[in-house]
Amino acid sequence: MPRQPRINIPDIAQHIIQRGNNKEPCFYNADDYAVYLAKMEEYAAKFEVEIHAFVLMPNHVHMLLTPKLESAISKFMQALGRYYVQYINRTYGRSGTLWEGRYRATVVGTDAYFLQVSRYIELNPVRSKIVLKPSDYPWSSYQHNAMDNHIDMIIAHHSYLSLGKNTGDRKFTYCHFVNLTMPTSIVNLIRNSTNKSWAIGDEAFITQIEQQLSRRLSPINKTHGKHFS
């Protein structure tokens, strides 16, 4: 079956996952994480991609991004992936691929859907039992979105901005939201939707994107958005 073309719609957020080949590590020490983050910031500015949330796990990465131009995310991920593979191979004297094929991506609706995906990303280290609390993991946008550790490249999405009248209120509300128990149904919904490139959003959003692309982006029964109501 031929690959589906990438969804390239400006100003629509996307959840991105890129995994290490055969689930092997992508990051070996703190310097590697720092290099990856620096190039994320550089290429996001170059290709006009807004970064809202991310987590760098030992063997994969998650990002929540909004492209400002068509094909911006594809160019961003290609440049970032290429640079980082070269860095890892040069630094550790290795060769060959680092990533497991193409990155996975799906479009995300706004408000409740966007915020659920954001906390799904930042709770990854907790679900993986690397840390007990998201605040304990240093390689995550939670440090910026819920705490006082400013990260220059994070650009607040309007769904996040709606959480409060000022920075302090937004951080407080977001922190409380992230630390609530996340239902397994929502975790599975986000995971399955991203793996299968289904859109995440309400029926109106999904129908709009499907009509725009002339392509199905949801399971046949179209019940996957109801868990967010």
**Are 176 and 119 spatial neighbours (Cβ–Cβ below 8 Å)?**
no
**Are 82 and 75 spatial neighbours (Cβ–Cβ below 8 Å)?**
no
Task: List strands edge to edge, sheet with 49-57.
Answer: 49-57, 60-67, 13-19, 104-108
Q: Please state the rounded mean pLDDT for residues 164-172.
A: 97
Give Cα 89 distance to the centre of its chain.
25
Instruction: Provide the pLDDT confidence category of residue 130 given band limits of 50, 70 and 90.
Output: very high
Q: Note the pTM of the prediction, 2 decimals.
A: 0.93
Q: Which pLDDT score is estimated for 197?
A: 87
Place of tokens 């408000």: 111
Residue 56 CB neighbours (<10 A)? 23
CATH class of 13-194: alpha beta
Q: Which pLDDT score is estimated for 94?
A: 92
